Structures are given as structure tokens and as C-alpha cells.
Amino acid sequence: MGFTGDSIVPIGMVDLYVTFGFDDCFEIVKTKFLIVDIPFTYNVIIGRPTLNCIRAMVSTYLMRLKFPTSSSVGEIRSDPKDLRHCYLTLVTLLKKVTLLIQQMDPREPSSINPYPEAREPL
């Protein structure tokens, strides 16, 4: 299920090694990613299983993620400018979708298929 409550059919799945952290404070974790074909502001979303694997502590208030490593504590900070850009892009996309829905006349047949056929995995 997507963030907007609609159903999303994954195109495929891929396992990638992801490095969390920098310099000598890092962890490398094999992470499973679902591949979807939707317009969204994020490149990837790291889920709870991966965050639990690296024993991460997330602070949305401080916009940081901390996790233990073999040498000390790793930390990832977010960039407020990037966050603002993602937020504004998401708001713009939602306005466009809302406008498109408002322009549709339910009495007329639509060329938009609300139930696209599932794609074969790669």
C-alpha cells in the first residue's frame, strides 16, 4: 500500500549493500529494495527492518540518525535545504493530482485506468 492509500504493484526487487556513515564510523548492510514506478520525491525509503539491523536511533526533531559501530557511534544528519525541496516538490505533486481529479467528470468515460495491469518482475 502506498502513502496515499492506493495499491502499488512492485516492478521488482533488488538486494544492495548500503553503507551507513562515514570514515571509520560506518556499517555495511545488505538491504532489500522494492522497485516501484511512481512519481515521488524520495529516491529510496529505508524501512524498519534495516534500521533495526543497524540498531539505529532516529530523531525526527534533530533530523539525525545514530547507530553503534565497531569503533564508536555513527551519525547521519539530514540537510534542511534538501528536506525543504522534497517537501515543496511533494506539495506540488499533490496539488497537480488533486487538480486532475477535480477536472475529471464522473459521467464521462475516462482514459485513465485506475487499475493498471501488473508488470512482470525484472
Task: Please state the domain extents for the chain.
Answer: 12-78
d(CA 89, CA 108): 31
pLDDT in tens, 100-119: 566 665 566 555 555 555 44
State yes or no: pLDDT of 62 exceeds 80. yes
E strands within the chain?
12-22, 25-35, 57-59, 64-68, 73-77
State yes or no: pLDDT of 13 exceeds 60. yes
Q: How far apart are the first and last CA of the chain?
A: 20
Q: How confident is the model at residue 2 (pLDDT cuts 50, 70, 90)?
A: low
Mean pLDDT, residues 29-52 taken together: 83
Write out the three cell numbers for 116. 493498471
> How confident is the prediction for the chain on average, in pLDDT?
78
